[in-house]
Structure 1
Amino acid sequence: MWGKILGALFGMALLKIPGLFIGLLVGHWFDKAYGGTFASRGGFNGFSRDKSEAQGIFRYNTFAVMGHIAKSNGVVTQSHIQQATVFMEQLGLTATQKQEAQAAFRHGKQADFPLLEQLAEFKSAYRTRPDMLLMFLEIQISTAYVDLNLSSAEQKILTQVASALGISGTQLEQMLGRYEAEARFTKSSSSGAADAGNRLKDAYKILGISSDSSEAELKKAYKKLMSQHHPDKLMSQGLPPELMDVAKQKTQDIQAAYELIRKQGG
């Protein structure tokens, strides 16, 4: 019915009476072809539920795939369990949400965990939100690196995740290099362990540019990454509220790297 109503209104607005009949025909075709699916999702009211549903899918798949990566080497280490626990605390999950996250983590550890099926569902929910797909992969990369080492089994799963989400192998390698640089950069910021030269090298890797990049290239890379990880933008795309701090930390690292490079250049 919605197809006919909207078709008639738009048709009449554009082409008066002839448009009314054309709109009715197009609307009838829509109702017949897609009306059932549209209605089953609650019509226009369904749009208000989509975001909540997508957030639930993001949360569940995040912890399920974390569990799958944790078990990839045969035994779940204490580091992986601690990371998942700390992550839940950092996100400020409610008691119910923690139980759901723990159940998802256990599901991911099972030998018959349908990784590709879960990722297909996840990609379907976020198919128009590429920044969210990248955010998801970044979280899984942090899981794989929890013991400061990336095993072949963990690498294989990350490759499967990236491929299922439509992220190229080249882009995955860049993300892995960027994560390692961010980890060193953040650590050196708090401990002063790295010398200025190595810290600057990591800053360039975080922004994905080389030391001979121009000022224009630096600004372009900075703006692109800030846009990709901006908390408000990700929130509007379906990022669960409790993951806002993760996004904020990413933007802080990007900002710090950018400022260091500009300071060095000046």
Structure 2
Amino acid sequence: MSIWNSISEFIAYISNAASAGMADVVDAVRSRFAANADLRRRVAFSVAMIALSAKMAKADGVVTQDEIRAFHEIFEVPAREQRNVARLYDIAKQDVAGFEIYAARMARLCGSGKENCPVLEDILDGLFHIAKADGAMHELEGTFLREVATVFKISEAHYETILARHIDLGQADPWRVLGIERGQPFADVKKQYRKLVANNHPDKLIARGLPEEFIRIATTRIAAINAAYEMIERGLKPA
């Protein structure tokens, strides 16, 4: 079942509140959906993506048609709900609070101090998908994404792995995508590849809170992992 009715009700709730600042949105999600942990995770994820997309657009200063298209590729918002989503986007974009405050509260979804949280990586992947939609990662977008990753406690090494899925880093690219040191035996490469495929199966992403509408993240991530593995395999296995 689509969660957009729940999200729209939540957006109406915070829009009518005396203070609609994004810094309080995570706490509002917790209280509003306290009785349903699964729905709470899914709504929190969706709200985070919408809000941080708006903050990224504000940092860059420009919203292109390609970025709008990319947003709708990963968020299949029903026509009747698009107005409410636009309201949340505008609230986030106009809010004077910096994205760091909001991102820090989102990081609490994984508990205090946890590094390389899969849910936060999912959010970061979605932001990358939107940022690169116009064919280039602009400097301000890159700075924004790296700072969000820092707030999310994504390690530098893991961030490079995420970055490599989206940006061509040249010869080291396939090794970085798989998160394995260059030159390792093919048996180790294959083991790491199988682990990544298992961890990023669409069912796993849904289980940890991604809305079904967002499953494009899983398919594009696995496509990048498959391509990287095939590149390494061609280079290491005898013809």
> TM-score, normalization: structure 1?
0.64
Q: Measured at CA, do residues 99 and 178 of structure 1 come closer, stay the same or move farther in structure 2, by a change above 3 Å? A: same
Unpaired runs of 5+ in structure 1?
1-39, 185-197
Higher fraction of helix: 1
User: Hey, what does 2:13 align to over in structure 1?
Assistant: none
8 A contact 1:179–1:206 mirrored in 2: no
Whether 1:132 and 2:103 are equivalent positions in the alignment is: no
Aligned partner (choices 194, 202, 214) of residue 243 of structure 1: 214
User: Hey, what does 2:141 align to over in structure 1?
Assistant: 154
Inter-partner Cα distance in structure 2 for 1:96 and 1:57: 21
What's the Cα RMSD here? 3.1
Q: Measured at CA, do residues 231 and 73 of structure 1 come closer, stay the same or move farther in structure 2, by a change above 3 Å? A: same
- 3-state DSSP of counterpart to 1:72: helix
8 A contact 1:65–1:115 mirrored in 2: yes
Q: Measured at CA, do residues 249 and 75 of structure 1 come closer, stay the same or move farther in structure 2, by a change above 3 Å? A: closer
Map 1:1-266; keep pairs closer than 5 Å.
Answer: 46=35, 49-88=36-75, 92-110=76-94, 112-127=96-111, 130-181=117-168, 202-209=173-180, 212-264=183-235, 265-266=237-238
User: Hey, what does 1:187 align to over in structure 2?
Assistant: none
8 A contact 2:161–2:178 mirrored in 1: no
Aligned-partner residue type, residue 55 of structure 1: R
The answer to which of 157-166 and 50-59 deviates more is 157-166
User: Hey, what does 2:19 align to over in structure 1?
Assistant: none
Percent of paired sites with the same residue? 26
When Rg is computed on C-alpha atoms for both structures, the one with the higher figure is 1
Inter-partner Cα distance in structure 1 for 2:210 and 2:141: 25
Unpaired runs of 5+ in structure 2?
1-29
Q: Does 1 or 2 have the higher relative contact order (CA < 8 Å, sep 6+)?
A: 2
Q: Which runs of 4+ in 1 moved over 6 A?
A: none
Inter-partner Cα distance in structure 2 for 1:95 and 1:212: 50
CA offset at residue 123 of structure 1? 1.8
- 3-state DSSP of counterpart to 1:51: helix
Q: Measured at CA, do residues 55 and 100 of structure 1 come closer, stay the same or move farther in structure 2, by a change above 3 Å? A: farther
8 A contact 1:70–1:77 mirrored in 2: no
- 3-state DSSP of counterpart to 1:59: helix
8 A contact 1:83–1:143 mirrored in 2: yes
- 3-state DSSP of counterpart to 1:71: helix
Inter-partner Cα distance in structure 1 for 2:73 and 2:97: 24
Number of residue pairs the alignment of both structures matches: 204
Inter-partner Cα distance in structure 2 for 1:41 and 1:94: 25
